[in-house]
Amino acid sequence: MNKQLRKLKYLCLRLLRINDRAHSIAGGFSIGFLINFIPSFGFGPFLSTIGPKLVKGNPVAGLIGCIAFIWAFPLFFYLNIIVGESLIPMQFENNIEIIIEEIEVSPVEPEEVLEAGLKIGKTFIVGMCLNMVIFGIILYFLIHYIIKKYRRDLLRLLYKKWRLKKWQ
């Protein structure tokens, strides 16, 4: 637990010490955070350093945003499905119990599997896009406000008052 707190403190210090405009830091951090909503198959940290450059954001802030929330990818994946399901309900022709009984009796047609996969994929993509827009806007303005108003106070708090015992 202490090791995780040290990592969190390091990432916070690193983010607050970036010598750049608040817009650049907030944009980079937001883009880096939003990479976690996309299944990037291990390329997330790489994409989080390239993505902020497209919006004139800070690549270091993007990397920090990605690494700080990389543990939450399964939660974001599930959230994408939930939000997509609320907008585009996945209605299968058969009930799941009937499908399971049919699988035990006879093989499933490839067209049915493809149709179910396309419905789930469409639901996921719609949820992902909506989540990225909502979370991106909220996080950008939140980080921009914090950096603009409280950067020095947070640095003092983290540096002097948040003492952690040495990890052994």
**Residue 165: its pLDDT value, please?**
59
* 119 pLDDT above the threshold of 80: yes
Q: What is the mean pLDDT of residues 135-161?
A: 89
Q: Which of the two residues, 72 and 4, has the higher pLDDT score?
A: 72
pLDDT, tens digit, 9 for 90 and up, residues 63-114: 999 998 998 999 999 999 999 989 988 765 555 555 566 566 566 677 777 8
Residue type, 130: L
- CA distance between the termini of the chain: 12
CB 133 within 8 A of CB 87: no
**Residue 97: its pLDDT value, please?**
58
At residue 3 the predicted structure's pLDDT band, cuts being 50, 70 and 90, is confident
Token reading at 97: 């119990």
What beta strand segments (E) does 49-157 contain?
Answer: none
User: Average per-residue pLDDT in the chain?
Assistant: 85
pLDDT, tens digit, 9 for 90 and up, residues 40-54: 888 999 999 999 999
Please state, in angstroms and rounded to a whole number, the distance separating the CA atoms of residues 23 and 14: 16
Residue 106: helix, strand or coil by DSSP? coil
* 58 pLDDT above the threshold of 60: yes
What beta strand segments (E) does the chain contain?
Answer: none
Please state, in angstroms and rounded to a whole number, the distance separating the CA atoms of residues 27 and 72: 20
**Residue 63: its pLDDT value, please?**
93
Q: What is the mean pLDDT of residues 121-133?
A: 94
Q: What is the pTM of this model?
A: 0.80
